[in-house]
Structure 1
Amino acid sequence: MMKKMSISTSKTSLVLFLCQIISALDVPLDSKLLEELSQPPTITQQSPKDYIVDPRENIVIQCEAKGKPPPSFSWTRNGTHFDIDKDAQVTMKPNSGTLVINIMNGGKAEAYEGVYQCTARNERGAAISNNIVIRPSRSPLWTKEKLEPNHVREGDSLVLHCRPPVGLPPPIIFWMDNAFQRLPQSERVSQGLNGDLYFSNVQPEDTREDYICYARFNHTQTIQQKQPISVKVFSTKPVTERQPVLLTPTGSTSTKVELRGNVLLLECIAAGLPTPVIRWIKEGGELPANRTFFENFKKTLKIIDVSEADSGNYKCIARNALGSVHHVISVTVKAAPYWITAPRNLVLSPGEDGTLICRANGNPKPSISWLANGVPIAIAPEDPSRKVDGDTIIFSHVQERSSAVYQCNASNEYGYLLANAFVNVLAEPPRILTPANKLYQVIADSPALLDCAYFGSPKPEIEWFKGVKGSILRGNEYVFHDNGTLEIPVAQKNNAGTYTCVARNELGKIQNEVQLEIKDPTMIIKQPEYKVIQRYGQVSFECIIKHDSTLLPTVTWLKDNDELPDDERFLVGKDNLTIMNVTDKDDGTYTCIVNTTLDSVSASAVLTVVAAPPTPAIIYARPNPPFDLELTGQLERSIDLSWIPGDENNSPITSFVIEFEDALHEPGVWRYQTEVPGSQTTAQLKLSPYVNYSFRVIAVNRIGRSQPSEPSEQYLTKSASPDENPANVQGIGSEPDNLVITWEPLKGFQSNGPGLQYKVSWRQKDVDDEWTSVIVANVSKYIVSGTPTFVPYEVKVQALNDLGYAPEPSEVIGHSGEDLPMVAPGNVQVHVINSTLAKVHWDPVPLKSVRGHLQGYKIYYWKVQSLSRRSRRHIEKKILTFRGNKTFGMLPGLEPYSSYKLNVRVVNGKGEGPASPDKVFKTPEGVPSSPSFLKITNPTLDSLTLEWGSPTHPNGVLTSYTLKFQPINNTHELGPLVEIRIPANESSLILKNLNYSTRYKFYFNAQTSVGSGSQITEEAVTIMDEAGILRPAVGAGKVQPLYPRIRNVTTAAAETYANISWEYEGPDHANFYVEYGVAGSKEDWKKEIVNGSRSFFVLKGLTPGTAYKVRVGAEGLSGFRSSEDVFETGPAMASRQVDIATQGWFIGLMCAVALLILILLIVCFIRRNKGGKYPVKEKEDAHADPEIQPMKEDDGTFGEYSDAEDHKPLKKGSRTPSDRTVKKEDSDDSLVDYGEGVNGQFNEDGSFIGQYSGKKEKEPAEGNESSEAPSPVNAMNSFV
């Protein structure tokens, strides 16, 4: 027979147990994917371990499992195979392992008692259920007995025994009479845990002949009854009183063992007259506040969810007027096994490593054993990839045949646990689970999350591209999540388009496209405004919105954050809310909420309803102060105050606030007395003794509070004894041997008379019967010396004066001073979870040793040394505090591949206890930080030298470096990526066979056995020719170009500013300047200094439509400047990145176009002089196109080709309004439209095809084309 076993019952499906996988592979919860993947069996439903069945009904033993392929089922009974085919009474449900034993057709339940276990098996392994113990319930009859009447004397105790028959499970006991009415119970008469009925003392009314004990057996739904018991009480005069005696438990001490997590029930029932009162305490500790309950008139102490910390001595004290008796129950809490780390399912790729961990605790410590596919692992088929190390199984280089189900069994004398965990080795090509062409819509300037849910084994690598054939996405503007999701933190309009996700592993590659649309945000451009309206008037709130044209907004109005009243007076329009016939109930806050499918905005305004119409002649203000205050009806504890209200200033007075001054104790201090409605002008005020009162009144309306009235006359009340005692009484020790009793002293007007003092009383809780008292002056604390360390005290403080004492004060519980804890936590264990996180366990210290309020535990930990660098370092200790009585804590932020030490200390209000012995643990390797630097030196025509520094934090043993690089062309497009692996002991590399005069981008990172660290990037340029190389002399430093150069000066101009950028080659230089002026002007150049070593500068304050010249220079290099560049400002001009105005083919083309236009003009002029008609114009008029109508019909000009323009050069286009200005919205033929940028309309060959084909915008770039690529022409410069 194997050891007792169990597995935690779960009713979840395959979808749910896969979510617990914590390996290198996470299986997404996708139903289609889960149906296709091979899967070892998992038990999903089973009957409880201890299964008590009704002997009259069929027995159903559940066993359900999931797997791929579907598992087959078999059973054992009492350790041997159970062949259900040989028993006609037993059947198994189809596609299930659940057994049905037919009892209702002749079977006997007793014949099927035993221990059953289910096995679910497929080609990838076998899972087993708990040992399920089947027992039929039993409800035997009561044995017949002759019961003699109970004759008892009044005042004596009595026990009526129930002694129910032994059933399975045990019955529920209750007492009733022959009319089936429950017998009343009280502090005097109650039922014990064993079912007996106890009388602490009997009274004459207890005489009756129908005390009947009933036993209810729940499983069989039957009730058995004992024969009635007769009780006769005879009286004796006088009745003798008796001090308490315990009826149960007997003796002075007893013991009880309870299991962790169960309910602890302790009982004390006492006899005595008068009826004793029961009280419970825990020696040396407190009863747990949130888990302790008192039942059965405090005779039963109930503590739920007990733990080892609840072990100890519990004392019950029974007390009446004649004395007391107590009993001590020594409680020991043991523990059946419970999980610390249950094994989790493991999904691996062929060749990967993994571990199964099974850790349990209990009292006593449970033993751990492993099974493989239901067979003890010692006799299971060998697997070379498997190694068992105590509570851990280590897998190395697994293969598909390594798939299996492993069982961990943790058991001790109080029970067992059994958990199934499978190892599933999968080799799967990548799959993308996100639907193809899924559309994402987001609001501009908000995050966009594009999903690419995937699965594969080995785990695929994910890459994203913009467009179908675009370059791979990189850079700070994107965030790439481990689950494949691409995040654009701040999505802009230019982020819209098609995105392609590619997943690849060694078994294949797959891609998917999604669409992203960016919508304009919804805005309220005219918000509702604050309104003041008179009653019965009409008011409107406006809410005018602007939204994306593709989104459908809905507008909702709220009043005071709730729906509008269901009232026809409220009219909701398209962009307004109108309230007709306004009433006082309409006063409040109105909110306009605009919702679309993507966003929501709101705006609010307040409506104030007033009685009079708001006209300029009426001023609403705070009321004037009341006057003529008068005191009447003077009594010892009350007085009447009356006043005349001041002017309300057009806003009704809503209330009056009355304040008082005590000239005897606090002169000049005004305190709140009461508040009365605005309709009252008198108030009866309650008074305190021994106060010299003055009163004043403040009026309140909607606008605010008035100034206070003039004070009333003074009134001195007579003295009396105090009415109240000090508040906030506390007892807290400041030293281990004292108790500091503090309180809040009464204020002067609370003293009620002269000679205010305090009576301070204290006694040790549950030890002293008598109070110790002392009378002190009007102070706020008293110190009791010579107390034991940290024991509870009952404390009270009573006020008194020359006329007497205040009422008896209530008691509070305090504690004498704390001392430092005496004991360090024991059994400190460290579980390293990963390279930066560890979990620490410890045993709690005994509460007696804490000697104070347990505040928690502190873990001191420090790094001893890095395992990759043996040098010693300054030790910086770190501290983590864990509040409460915790027994574990997490240590985050550890450094990988390092040796650490730690200890644990308990903390109370006084401080820290001694430290536990130092525990040493080591963290595994992690990925390294980026290399400390990357320098690129010695550029030649075809080579560059790279030098680097090792990572500041290697976090392990470096295995290699990876260098990736790719060329960058003049349009900032990236070329093919080259990757090189470099040994870890190298610190430099010469790259040869590079292209001359080419810029390269380098990506460099380091690796450990765990993986790659973060990378460092750098850019460098190979030189154009050997003339730019300075030959080094002997001992010279690094090689620099012979002369510096500033190249590729480019401009991007707008109406009033221009962005100037350039490329600099040469020695390090940080002082550049930009010179500019109007093109063709003889004025001096204007100079602007560039801050730092930037390679760009923005010129501001330029004149629109003006041509400028610009050049770039370097300070300190005489005569060193770039060549000049010319640009022109203008509306929506694109940057002048490529100037082809000097290209021969372009000049020829433009000359031909100009010649054709000139010939056309001459022909038109001749025909006009001959009075002829221009046939094209007739066709244009017939089509009535407003774009080509004549500009001046009265002077006979032909629209665009007027006489006034024949002798002038064309400017920016062939159509010009009479004022000689060009506006983009007025002229579609303006060559501004054909320049660079998103509005350019030239085709690739410079023709005007785009204009006449109706195309206004460029086609989106495809492939590796950059969105910043310059237009092939600059039309403006070609026509200047």
Structure 2
Amino acid sequence: MQTTLSLICVILFLLAGNLCNLTISPTGPASVEALVGTNVTLGVSHAGAFQPEVMWFMGSLLIARWTVGDGSLSGVDSDILRPEQDGSLTFRNVSLRNNSTYTVEMTKIGEAKVSATFDLFVYDILMNASLHTDSDDAVEGDVKFTLYYITMRGEAKEVRWLFNGLQVKNGPHYSIGEKKLTINQPSRNDTGRYTVSLTNPFSSETQHRDITVLYGPDMPVLKVSPTKAVFVSGESLFLSCQAEGEPAPSTSWLFNGESIAASPAGAVHLPNVETSQSGVYTCVMVNTRTEATLERNVTVTVYELPRGGPSCSVQAGNRSAALQFLCLWPGGAPEARVSFPGLSHNASGYGNYSITIHDIQTLHGQEIICEAEHPLNHTQCSVIPRAPVGFLAVILTSMSEDDRTTVEIHCSAEATPEALVRWIKNGERLQTGSKYQISANTTQLFIHEFNATSADLDTYTCTAINPLGNTTVDTTLLGPQISNSSVFLSDDQTEVSLSWHVPLTSVITGFDIQVKGNLTSDFRTIRVMPASARNTAISGLDPKYTYYFRIVPKTGRTAGEPSEQHRTGPAAGLSGAAIAGFAAGIPCAVLVLLVVLGFIYCGTRDRSPRYPVSRAVEKVREAIVCVIVRLFFTFSEGSFSSLQAVVCRSTLTPQNLLRGRLKPPPEYRLQQPERSGPLPSVNPSVRMATTV
């Protein structure tokens, strides 16, 4: 019927002009549901035109265009889309990314466009659904408690929440959102089983979770009774804690804030107590229903020799030309007495002692000894003051989400005491501000909003200073550069490994790995690497095709000079110079051999033999000369073909003794033809801030 109507319209159009209006309509539902991996057709029918033009859009994107009845179809992805001759569109092996609204437009010459719209919903099979909560416990009186579900595969079209078998509705107490059920101000009445039911046109899943809302009826009464407060190393310690409550509270113990083991009755036994066990012991009693808590503290002191040995250090004094020496040996009972006899014979302290020296010129490189005395032991430690020594600056680069680059220069010199650092650029001392920021210990300079094409690429000077001296390091920052690069092709020629190096002071935030085929003029970025990367492997190459690779260093959005291009693909064959050498050398060698054999041959023919020479021997001689001549002419491209014919006119008949023929030398080609194949697949861009 439709074909007849279209034919009538065509006839009327030819006879009396365009009398039929183009119409289009879906042949099925406008809302189509499909399972992942199946084929689905968005069917349409039309009338009023013989061969209208058809255009399909995914949203506003044109995905297919053809003319009804025309055998040639173009502008479509034949692996996914299949245009039908009636204007319908078929999806092969439909996937989740095909979820969209589709519009088909048909156009008849002289008329406006007509269109139809479809909604395609693609679902996967629901698998491995699970139900979770946002916190471990639901507590009466809290603001909210949330349950949510997760599916490892597939999405639900319909979600139903149930509490003890009854469906939950949106309201003041329950809030249902995307994949969530929120209980507002939960109470003990919300204890029970919660169920989520997930369905789509092709599968369903149901999950359950039991929720208990915690609450407390009253406050407990607590008592604390430790057995002893002061102990000597090696003694045993017992702590007990009791309290009344309904239900009976649980008891736990903390030592200096950290949990320790206790008996079921709530007692703590510490055999052979040590100094490290001196401190505050806290008994914590909790009503498990109400979570009401009561704490009691007991301080325990243990006398013992300090662990380990004393620690010595030195730091800059309040004045630039002074040094403060420190000796530390904490702990023990009583505390150890410490002193610096080489600096002062009378001054000393206990546990933590310091002394300031102003005359420091003779102290550089000298060992300063701290004597540490305890009733149970006498020991010492030492420190050697030193001026800053030479060092290398470390450059770190980071990039924010809005592509703003920050460069950090780290100057840390070995010095005792620790050196302070001054930063200078172009003769001016740098201070913390919007552009530059100096760390609290002065060893780090941060350059914000670094521009690799501006004056930020300059020499930065850091001077490390302590009271004993100073040292200076100049660091010249360079833009994104690659010093050298190389490529290695795997044995099966399907994977290539790239490696590269950069200058130590080059500021780089990443690298673009680019590739092109020999038949294309532009490189394409297939991988973005972090600044720390120095190699990468690219697989999926076709050994029959030729590829060109290069690495482009970048600082933020600024790209540096790319590396040299590295070619991979079929073997290049002999070079032009090698082929020219063969072309010139082989004929010359054959010519020399020909001349020598010619003399032998002619000399033999001119000499009168003592005995008659058989005809067979003469033919062998002629055949040898003929073969050599032919070989020479072969390399000479047959330029003396007439002479060759004269020499060889009577040789190499089927009856001749020399029956084998010399084969011509193999052809030498300048290079195998390059074939360009599909480029390797592109990886998503990755932004990463890393050490240069």
TM-score by structure 1 length? 0.19
Using the size of structure 2 for normalisation, the TM-score is 0.31
Which of 1 and 2 has higher RCO (CA within 8 Å, sep 6+)? Answer: 2
